[in-house]
Chains A and B, each alone.
Chain A
């Protein structure tokens, strides 16, 4: 490969293809930028843009029963109805916010602690990492079923464990007030490892010098974490919060698998996603469900925007 060292490496981007190539190949070569990107973009756009526009349209109609049925344009009535609905919509917004914020808080704090524990190499590190990977790749529906058995009030392992410590049985998923915290626990169990992996990748890529400098200056372990490691890790932490936050907002599998339709008989785990799914596919209220979805979408975009703004600030 002596040619690499020759000074003629100026074949710039978009340079014509080598002489002697057939015409069609040359055309492909010149247009590769879009030829490569177009199929993937067309695929996503077709599955994304039209449905979103249609959902937007449906949200302005009274579509119900079947999407084929006659529906009437009702303007913003659905929006007024949904936004003044304090029985299902606003509680669902509240649960979505509670679920996301609380789960995220636990996942970030625990994730950070575990990542710090794993940071410095030790014997058996490989096996700890394997263990951390297991909840992440486990199928969420199966995970939901597994915790249903463990948290079963009568035969579940959780209450047997509590019994050994002399604590009375808890209703867990079956309780009207304990169901949401229990599903948050399951989410934390499954997704804290994700935060651990991301933060660990961030920690490993940090340079050692600032740590050493702080140590020589006599900073304590906590001071070094607070004033050296944490600021340097901030961009990674924001990525972790962003990725996890979006997915936590959209949580569906675990909630539907553990509590079923409507998020339980008192809607105790009914988040926006579960609510919208129920409206669409259990009750076929397409107009209203589209309205909820558009509002949900706006919330997600808003949350993302707030977080990326925060991220840009952190980078400055």
Chain B
């Protein structure tokens, strides 16, 4: 079907406005990270300015950002791997045996406000001398990513025909063997989706790390937050710090957008 020319023009204009609104602020943040604080203030230098790397040098050297980047990477990676390890078999079982109530328990974690768990967690984990360590951060981030993995993978396993496993059983494999040798390899796209989304959400998580990390285990979002609270804000440095945490995750999303989109829309069309 062919749309009318007037609509075509309207659509181009409207979508241009949408794209600019969504992307321009992020470009503004990135450009500000290359400006001196004087240039940020100057509207005449909005686009034409001489870029400086000073903000990045300052952030990366003085504020130990390299350490925080490594912390964030490690926590997000470990939480993702552990969530996949626990979540994929669970989702398989819940999908094949239709364990709706069990699935609900896991998905409750999505609904509960994180603050209501933080006080008891803090109490228990500080008694176990774990607060401020990586273990507690990874566990708390898993609490975010595991329900995500279960939710995405349940939908994925629902759509995988059972006949393939049955054929493998006839060929003499055990159920677990059929899961490992047939179902898992076929689920790689779903696992990729779940893993990427889990990584993104863990990378972006703020509240849990704000309470449960200490100076050595701080993740990037918390480190950025520390930038403010001084009397005057070093805007150039702050924007460099914000760019350091945001841009890598955006670049990843750019390359694997198919998986990110299917993860974010998982279950949506089934009603």
Interface residues of A (CB under 8 A from B): 1, 3-4, 6, 8-9, 11, 13, 15, 17-18, 21, 25-26, 28-29, 32-37, 39-41, 43-45, 47-48, 50-52, 54-55, 58, 67-68, 114, 117-118, 120, 122, 127-143, 145-150, 152, 155, 157, 160, 189, 193-194, 197-198, 200-202, 205, 235-236, 238-240, 243, 246, 249-250, 252-253, 256-257, 260, 273, 276-277, 280-281, 286, 289-290, 293-294, 296-297, 300-301, 304, 311, 315
**A155:B235 contact, CB within 8 angstroms:** yes
Q: Look across to chain B and name the residue whose beta carbon is closest to the beta carbon of A53.
A: B120
Q: Give the dominant DSSP class at A's interface.
A: helix
Contacts of B110 in A (CB 8 A): 246
Consensus secondary structure, chain B interface: helix
Residue of A nearest to B165 (CB): A11
- CB-based contact A32/B176 at 8 Å: yes
When A1-B167, A47-B117, A139-B204 are in contact, do A189 and B21 touch as well, CB less than 8 Å? yes
Q: Do residues A139 and B99 form an inter-chain contact, with CB atoms below 8 A?
A: no
B112 touches A297 (CB 8 A): yes
> How close is A66's CB to chain B, nearest CB, in angstroms?
9
Give chain B residues whose Cβ lies under 8 Å from the Cβ of A33. Answer: 93, 97, 99
B4: shortest Cβ distance to chain A, in Å? 10
State whether B3 touches A280 (Cβ < 8 A).
no
Contact yes or no, A67 B206, CB < 8 A: no
Q: Are B18 and A114 in contact (CB under 8 A)?
A: yes
Interface string of B220-259 (1 = CB under 8 A from A): 1110110111000101001101110110011011100100
Chain B interface (Cβ < 8 Å from any Cβ of A): 1, 3, 11, 14-15, 18-19, 21-23, 25-26, 28-29, 32, 40-41, 43, 46, 86-87, 89-90, 92-94, 96-97, 99, 102, 105-106, 108-124, 139, 142-143, 146-147, 150, 163, 166-167, 169-176, 179, 200, 203-204, 206-207, 211, 220-222, 224-225, 227-229, 233, 235, 238-239, 241-243, 245-246, 249-250, 252-254, 257, 260-261, 264-265, 267-269, 271
Give chain B residues whose Cβ lies under 8 Å from the Cβ of A58. Answer: 119
